[in-house]
Amino acid sequence: MKPAVMMDRHADALITRVSLVSPAEPMFALHAASVHFGQPMRAVRALTEVTLSIHPGERVALVGANGCGKSTLLRLLHGLLAPTAGQVRSVPNHCQAMLFQKPHLMRLSVQSNIALGLWLRGMPWGVSRVKALEALARVGLSALALRSARKLSGGQQQRVAMARAWALQPQVLLLDEPTASLDPHAKREVEALIEEFAQSQGGGRGMTLIFASHNLGQVKRLASRVIYLEQGRVLADLPVHDFFSGPLLQQQYPAAHLFVKGEMV
């Protein structure tokens, strides 16, 4: 069987293939990229003139208050949105997967949900189902392979979504608040999987991980770099250690410092 249609734009393991540039280039390079929604006169400015580069193997956390543009930036990086102005470039021949806060699973078995992502890329159905089982074993859900995916708990569904991404072996994993709706136990399980995933993929350099989170503990645990957004603009872009160094942030990035203080309360 060959895929007749491309995967839904909002599926959580959509792959984006991108055009060739030099391998020495950053994984992503944004230059004055803006995203505005709606009519020009009354547009919502979700992102305004964002310029940044993300290199292979980096683990980037996007933080900021509700509505500051984190999801929009992730969707822009994943190719789900085009910039209204400016440029977004990305590396050659890599594949990437995105996970959302609420996984988009089909009314199919767990195994078929994972196999579908592979089949849509052209893998024969029988092979896709075998690969799906391997991916399920990686996330410790082999026993649930034949269960209906939509009937699983939130934490289990997120692990299925992780397995679906895992099966694709992406070099870039984008996550939009992947543990936001989970209880502490499920949160820890999914975080551990993200960590394992990040270390095991990416051809020895580790995976490029880009995630939005309101959980600063999680940011400390998973990120190497933190990008702080406010009203669609990048106001701080620092190594994780510097971001959580109180005096430095307070002196040089007062807005980010106030945000961190507020979140820590």
Ligand X SMILES: Nc1ncnc2c1ncn2[C@@H]1O[C@H](COP(=O)(O)OP(=O)(O)OP(=O)(O)O)[C@@H](O)[C@H]1O
- C-beta neighbour count of 132 within 10 angstroms: 27
| Cβ 172 to ligand X shortest distance, Å | 18
User: Is the CB of 73 or the CB of 110 nearer to ligand X?
Assistant: 73
Alpha helix stretches (DSSP H) within 176-253:
184-200, 216-222, 240-243, 246-252
| Cβ 36 to ligand X shortest distance, Å | 9
| Angular region, 167: left φ>0, alpha ψ -120 to 50, beta rest | alpha
| Cβ 158 to ligand X shortest distance, Å | 16
| Cβ 112 to ligand X shortest distance, Å | 30
Residues 6+ apart with CB under 8 A from 51: 30, 31, 32, 33, 86, 234
- C-beta neighbour count of 168 within 10 angstroms: 21
| Cβ 250 to ligand X shortest distance, Å | 23
User: Is the CB of 46 or the CB of 118 nearer to ligand X?
Assistant: 46
**Angle, helices 125-138/154-168, rounded to nearest 10 degrees:** 120
User: Is the CB of 201 or the CB of 213 nearer to ligand X?
Assistant: 213
Give dist(CA 143, CA 133) in Å, integer: 10
Please name which of 122, 259, 138, 113 lies closest in space to residue 199, comparing C-alpha atoms.
138
User: Is the CB of 22 or the CB of 66 nearer to ligand X?
Assistant: 66
User: Is the CB of 47 or the CB of 118 nearer to ligand X?
Assistant: 47
Q: Helix, strand, or coil here: 36?
A: strand
| Cβ 179 to ligand X shortest distance, Å | 13
User: Is the CB of 83 or the CB of 140 nearer to ligand X?
Assistant: 83
Segment (H or E) for 236: strand 233-239
Strand order in the sheet with 225-230: 96-99, 172-176, 208-212, 59-63, 225-230, 233-239
User: Is the CB of 67 or the CB of 83 nearer to ligand X?
Assistant: 67
Contact status, residue 208 vs residue 57, Cβ threshold 8 Å: yes
Question: What is the residue-wise DSSP string for 208-224?
Answer: EEEEE-S-HHHHHHH-S
List of residues contacting ligand X (CB under 6 A):
37-38, 44, 46, 64, 66-72, 212
| Cβ 37 to ligand X shortest distance, Å | 3
